[in-house]
Amino acid sequence: MAMAMASQLWALLDEMVENDPRAYWRLQRQLRGWPEPRLSLRGQARGAVGPLFINICSWKRVPAPQAPSAPTPASAGRLEEVAEGEALYSVIDVAFNPDVLQRGEENPEHMKHLIHLTLKFVEERCNLLLSDSYTVESFKLKGSLEAMRQRLAGGWVPAPFLSQHTKKELRLDQLLHRAEAEDDGNAPVLLREEGTAQSKAHLIEEIASSEMLEKLSTPAYELTTVRDANEKPLRIELRVELPKVGSVSECDLSISKDDLIIEVPEKYKLQLDLPELVDEEAATAVFNKGKQILVVTVPVARPDP
């Protein structure tokens, strides 16, 4: 009975992607879950460029604490220096399970305590010296949503695995190789509140990217820019070969104005910079079951008048 219901569900999702692809991809993003911003902190840190912003995010991939006295799992992106015009600042993203942040929103004291631990966590993780004072910004996110999600979910190596002389970012496969070679590479980072060294309460445990993301292969693809008779770009067409995929329902597609991400959990991941700015809201995707090829079509954005 369960298998029959599952088959019916896949069939309905396949029908949905053919009849209303935009609604399908919105549903997929909601079901699979991307990191979502909840609040942004501003502080000062010795060793960081400009003011330090900490984006606290909600992410379903981060597990909830196993018990009230157990460590609180967290996932952190890399510390990044950002230039906006003449302004310079540093930003880092820290993600918790949605239930953890929900409790904080319902209990101000719990949220205050979580913020305190987050500051200490960032201080130790990034080898910074943070000021005790901070402000909660009026906006939920500092920087762009795409950049935040790439830092957290893009499979980049966390800061502790980077050499001080390393300038090039490492991919997930390099991270896994290095983590296997280091004795404490996968050891969780535990942060205790001051004065509770003997207590197991109020801990944060960092969840490495290798614990949440399997090693994914890059599928074969062909990216084409379709132009009119005057060589004006009209649309971007992407054909992706997915031989291990049986249904479009297995695919997760995310498109911004200048990049595209296709992920099939535990199988494939493809991230591309698009050659033209596009209208992501008008994107369509069709999966050919027989050939196991996903075709994504997205029109080029019209220039502002």
Tokens of 189: 């980072």
E-assigned strand segments in 118-168:
129-136
Q: Supply the pLDDT for residue 237.
A: 96
Q: Does 118 reside within a domain?
A: yes
44 and 9 together in one domain: no
Among candidate residues 282, 298, 288, the one with its CA nearest the CA of residue 234: 298
Q: Does 304 reside within a domain?
A: no
Q: Tell me the pTM.
A: 0.51
Q: Supply the pLDDT for residue 219.
A: 93
DSSP letter at 218 equals P
Among 197, 212, 227, residue at a domain's last position: 212
Model confidence pLDDT, tens digit, residues 230-266: 999 999 999 999 998 888 778 888 888 888 899 888 7
169 and 231 together in one domain: no
190 and 249 together in one domain: no
CATH number (domain holding residue 293): 2.60.40.790
186 and 120 together in one domain: yes
CA dihedral 151, 39, 126, 71 (to 10 degrees): -100
Distances (CA, A) of 185 to 139, 163, 276: 35, 13, 40
Among 212, 236, 263, residue at a domain's last position: 212
57 and 26 together in one domain: no
145 and 240 together in one domain: no
Among 212, 233, 268, residue at a domain's last position: 212
Say how many domains are in the chain: 2
Domain range for 270 = 2-32+216-299
List of the chain residues with pLDDT < 50? 1-2, 155-202, 210, 213-214
